[in-house]
Amino acid sequence: MTSAQPIAGVSCWSCRSLKRRCDKKRPECGSCVRYRKTCTYVPPPKQMAEVNHQLSDLVQRLDILDEKIGMVRDRTMSLLLEASGEEDIPDLYPDYTSDSDDSTQENTPAFDIPKEQSKAVVTQLRPLDESFIPHPQAFHITHNEQGLSIDLNLGHMKDFNRFLESLAKTSGDRDEKARYEDKEEVTVKVDAQLLIHSLKDRLQESNRRNELDHFVHYLYKRPVGLEGPQELSGISDARSVLRLCLDAHFHCPGAQYPFISECKVYGLLNSLGDVMDNFCLVSLGAANARHAFSLHATLSNRDKASPTPRAIAYYMYRCAQKLFRDVFDQPELLTVAGLLLMDRYENFFPDKSSDNHLYHRLAVRMAHAIPDFFGFTKITKSDPEDVHETKRDRLRLALYLWVRDSVIWGRDTSHPVLATVCPGYRWTEHLYNGPEDRLSWIFFDRVVRIAHLALQFAQDMFKFRGNLPVPRMLFFLRCLDDWYDSQPDQFKLGDEYRNKNAALGPSTPQEMMAKFNRRLYPHKLLQQAMYMQGIYWSMKFALARSFFPIQGIDASTPSLHRQSFANCYHYVKQLYQLLWTVVVYGIHELDETSMCNFFEAASRCLRDIVSNPRNWEPVLVQNAHQWLCFERDAVKQSINYKVGFENWHAYYDDLNRFLEEYEAGAGNCPLYTIS
């Protein structure tokens, strides 16, 4: 007989996040809640009968527990209704009894289930990010068709029953009834208040941690106090429940690792989302996340042995994901999301302790939601104009968050993206480790992914540039400049040459590449840095291209476009440097046709200004002439290096002829088409 081997599973969330093996060596699965494994053991054939017998016994025990819990719940609801003055018990739980046997229906309570329908249903909190949150089988939430939550860990069910029984007794106290008898409160409102009051009393005891877990577990599937969409008055009660649960993580003696309960708190937040509007849900999540961080900071200053904030960070991260995935159509909610994402760790850790890197990890995780945010903002031609404006606002916020995070990270000595996979890893150190350093590729992959998405949707957005205000256009460009200026010098290859002579650059591309290769730049890392350089210029190209209408600018052009073109002069010279970046560094991320169209449109606008000076201010005419001369010098230098487009010679001859005729006073010259 060959014994079956256990199937290798995934380590618990804590171990995987810290990149080390679990220190619990127990062979049985689920023996430790904190370090629960997710392996599956297949018993030998001779043991199958015993396993089936154990399963049958488990089902019977679950049926008995269902009946007991149902009786306690029925007693609790009766006392609550008596305290609130209601006459009938609301039909909160559907009747699942069978229609085939009438006698069974008469003798079976509404909360009971026939045995043929008493199949346990396992609900798993399906993770959105497998690399960060626990495996779904790390914990179980089991309920029957009635929707009542019960725990598979049968050893805790006695505590839960005792808690519900004591809760029912407390709810029936005359003082509690007198507290509400003069108020016209709905039943669910009273229910939530009594639950909170009872929980406060029991959290003072040292051995009530299991009851807290089961209490949140019970609320996960059926949040008591918010049974209908109309009962928004219970929001304050829901906030109190969540805050009590968060407080209990730190004040309960056994709360050294509150991860399991934290998942259930987040489940409660999701349940509340079914009966609350989105704004209340977001406010609730943000407020409790802030409360959790401030609470941890307070306790950390007083007690250095306080619990880790990792579970709170997980909760805050999931709240942020909830914001980005569910509330895209409400701009005020995006404001809340932005505040939640942009809060610096100084707000929560004023002492700047060693917990800073934990917040950086959280910031990176939440920043990963920004690509999803871009995915919901793609503009299509079928969208009405008002929808375009809303999506532009969303893109503006997302781009700003991306730029802001990059600016913050660029000024920090320890890069949080690298700290995510290796805490304490220094950004400056990995530049010397060569192309074999895997961390550098992790960093570039993440940043390039966001940059690509930003470029793609920026191009889609500016297809509808007619209704885009000029200040917002300039805001995008300034954001890109701020981001570029904040990056390490390794991203700015060639800037020192362009600052000296923007038109000419180094003597030859070969000399430039050789010099950079001697400056501690591994070949692959140099390619990645040039790639990021191309991404940066590509985005500026996509943004500023909308300033140049293909039809050109003349006296009939609306004032908005005239002002747009006047305000973009600062970027025209920089955009001509894009040519130098592409041809010298060998970056081929830009489509040649798009580049040709851009230069053609920009050159046409400049030539229109020069050829019609009466329509423009003298200083604009002078600047247009200077930038046309700059363009001619750049094209000539590219030809000398034997790089650029195939018909660069013809374009240079046409541009040079135009400038010579203009300087000689001959007037306008027909525009040569590149493409």
Residue 657 and residue 628 in contact, taking contact as beta carbons nearer than 8 Å: no
3-class DSSP assignment, residue 172: coil
Count of structural domains within the chain: 1
Whether 601 is in a domain gets the answer yes
Give yes or no for residue 54 having a pLDDT over 50: yes
Distance of CA 515 to the CA centre of its chain: 40
pLDDT value, residue 3? 35
Share of the chain above pLDDT 90, in %: 0
- List the domain range (segments joined by +) for residue 561: 488-663
Give yes or no for residue 118 having a pLDDT over 80: no
In angstroms, the CA 97 to CA 112 distance is: 8
Question: 58: pLDDT confidence band, cut at 50, 70 and 90?
Answer: low
Residue 134 and residue 126 in contact, taking contact as beta carbons nearer than 8 Å: no
pLDDT digits (tens, 9 = 90+) for 301-360: 444 333 344 444 444 445 545 544 444 444 333 434 444 443 433 333 333 344 444 444
Which range has highest mean pLDDT (174-178, 202-206, 223-227)? Answer: 202-206
Give yes or no for residue 629 having a pLDDT over 70: yes
Instruction: Give whole-number Cα distances, 250 to 57, 326, 644, 655, in Å.
Output: 38, 30, 64, 72
Residues facing residue 122 across a β-bridge: 142
Backbone phi and psi for residue 419, each to the nearest 5 degrees, phi listed first: -65, -20
Give yes or no for residue 544 having a pLDDT over 80: no
pLDDT digits (tens, 9 = 90+) for 369-416: 444 443 334 444 454 555 445 544 444 444 444 434 443 333 333 333
Lowest mean pLDDT among 56-60, 119-123, 480-484, 629-633: 119-123
Strand 149-150 with 121-123, pairing: unpaired
Lowest mean pLDDT among 279-283, 305-309, 334-338, 429-433: 429-433
Question: 627: pLDDT confidence band, cut at 50, 70 and 90?
Answer: confident
Residue 144 and residue 119 in contact, taking contact as beta carbons nearer than 8 Å: yes
Whether 656 is in a domain gets the answer yes
Helices (H) and strands (E) in the chain, counts: 27, 3
Whether 639 is in a domain gets the answer yes
DSSP element (H, E) containing 122: strand 121-123
pLDDT value, residue 409? 36
Whether 443 is in a domain gets the answer no
Whether 435 is in a domain gets the answer no
**Angle CA(328)–CA(242)–CA(226) in degrees, nearest 5?**
75
Question: 82: pLDDT confidence band, cut at 50, 70 and 90?
Answer: low
3-class DSSP assignment, residue 27: coil
Whether 494 is in a domain gets the answer yes
Whether 560 is in a domain gets the answer yes
Starting at the edge strand found earlier in the chain, the sheet holding 121-123 runs 121-123, 141-143, 149-150
Whether 311 is in a domain gets the answer no
* Average pLDDT, rounded, for the chain: 45
